[in-house]
Amino acid sequence: MFAVAKKLREAGVLGLNERNSEFIMRLNPRSLYPRVDDKVLTKQLALDAGMPVPDLYGVITNQGEVSTFPDIVTNRESFVIKPAQGSGGDGIIVVTGRSQRKRDCYRLSSGMIVSEGEILYHLSNIVGGQYSLSGNPDKALIEYCVRFDPVFADVSYQGVPDVRVVVYRGYPAMAMVRLPTRASDGKANLHQGAVGAGIDMGTGRTLNGVLDDEVVEDHPDTGALVAGLEIPHWTFILESSAKGYEVTGLGYLGVDMVIDRDRGPLILEMNARPGLNIQIANGVGLTDRISRIDAIYNASASPGERAAVARREFQL
C-alpha cells in the first residue's frame, strides 16, 4: 500500500490527503461552500455572470409543495428532477417522456415507466433530505432535460455526458468527459458506472477512458471507441470553466458542463471537492500542472486569457 502511494506521488499523482489539506483547506474557504453546495444558488450565480444553464422549471422547497409537481411539468414532455444538495448522481431522475396511454405516467431514460405517485414519493424523499450532503431538509429542482450533441451518439448509453474541468486558481488544469452507461442509469457520474475519458486540453480531443479505475478503449455498451472524439465548443467550455473561479471564489474547483444539441454548453454544477480519478482518465497527475500554474499565475489575467494559457501549456 505504502509502495503504491509512493509510486503515485513520484508520478505526480495528487492524493486525497494532499488534495484535502493543501488545496481544499487553503484555497476553498468554507464560507464559500454554499455557492456550490446548493444547485439552485449555483444556477442563479452562473446566470448572473451571464453563463448559460439548463432552464429551471420549478423548485419544491417543502413537503407542502410536493403536490404542485403536476402543475410545474404540465406542458413538459421531458425534464430532470434533482436534489439541490445532492452529489454523485444520487436522487436524480431523468424523465424523457410520458407514457402514451396515461399522461400522468412518466418514462425514465432507462425506458422504465413510473407513476405520478412514485414521483411524488421521490420528491418527498428529496425534500426530506434523503440525498442532501448535510442530511438536512433539502429542495428539489425540476429543470430542462438536456439533449446531447450528436457527437456523443455512439458513446453514450441513455443519458447525457458531462464535461468536468478542474480549475486551479482560475486556470483550467485538467478535463475529462464522462459517458453514461447502462449501469449509470442516465447519469454521467463515475460512481454510478459511467466511463471517464481524458481530454487533450490543447485540442479538446478525447483520450482513452477509465471505468471503475481500469483503462478502457471502448464504451462497454455500444462498443464504440472512446478516444478521438472532438468535444464541440471546446474554447467556450474552457473559458466558462475559468470563469467559474470569479463566480465562486474557489481556488480549487470542478466545473461540470453538458452540451445541448441546440443550446450548446450549459453549466450543470460546480464542485468544491472534485474527485481525483480525472488523473487516471488522463494518464497524468495534477501535481505538475498545478506547479506550472503557480509559476505562470497572473492575477490580472481574464478568464479567456487563462483558458488560452491552459490550451497552450497543457496540450499533449
Ligand X SMILES: Nc1ncnc2c1ncn2[C@@H]1O[C@H](COP(=O)(O)OP(=O)(O)O)[C@@H](O)[C@H]1O
Q: Which residues lie near Mg ion (CB under 5 A)? A: 256
Shorter beta-carbon distance to Mg ion: residue 189 or 206:
189
Q: Which does 274 bind (CB under 5 to 8 A by kind): ligand X, Mg ion, none?
A: none
Shorter beta-carbon distance to ligand X: residue 152 or 314:
152
Q: Is 210 helix (H, G, I), strand (E, B) or coil?
A: strand
Quick check: 88 binds ligand X (CB under 6 A)?
yes
Shorter beta-carbon distance to ligand X: residue 160 or 231:
160
For ligand X, the binding residue among 58, 89, 196, 254 (CB under 6 A) is 89
Q: What CA–CA distance (Å, rounded) separates 108 from 174?
A: 32
Q: Is 42 helix (H, G, I), strand (E, B) or coil?
A: helix
For ligand X, the binding residue among 38, 140, 159, 306 (CB under 6 A) is 159
For ligand X, the binding residue among 185, 200, 239, 269 (CB under 6 A) is 269
Q: What are phi and psi of 249, to 5 degrees?
A: 80, 5
Give all strands (DSSP E) within 62-119, no chain letters.
Answer: 79-83, 93-98, 105-108, 113-115
Contact 59, 126 (CB under 8 A): no
Shorter beta-carbon distance to ligand X: residue 54 or 58:
54
Quick check: 126 binds ligand X (CB under 6 A)?
no
Q: What CA–CA distance (Å, rounded) separates 279 from 222?
A: 24
Sheet containing 105-108: give its strands across. 56-60, 140-143, 79-83, 93-98, 105-108, 113-115
Shorter beta-carbon distance to ligand X: residue 256 or 285:
256
Pattern 137-156, binding to ligand X, x per CB under 6 A? ------xxxx----------
Q: What CA–CA distance (Å, rounded) separates 56 from 79?
A: 10
For ligand X, the binding residue among 61, 87, 124, 125 (CB under 6 A) is 87
Cell 481530454: give the residue. Answer: 199
Q: For residue 156, what are the β-bridge partners?
A: none
Shorter beta-carbon distance to Mg ion: residue 240 or 287:
240
Q: What CA–CA distance (Å, rounded) separates 170 from 46?
A: 15
Binding positions for ligand X, 20-49, rule CB under 6 A: none
First CA to last CA distance, the chain:
30
Q: What are phi and psi of 107, to 5 degrees?
A: -100, 125
Quick check: 268 binds ligand X (CB under 6 A)?
yes
**Which range of residues in 44-52, 187-195, 199-207, 276-284 is near ligand X by CB under 6 A?**
187-195
Residues near ligand X, by CB under 6 A: 54, 80, 82, 86-89, 92, 94, 143-146, 159-160, 162, 180, 187-189, 256, 268-269
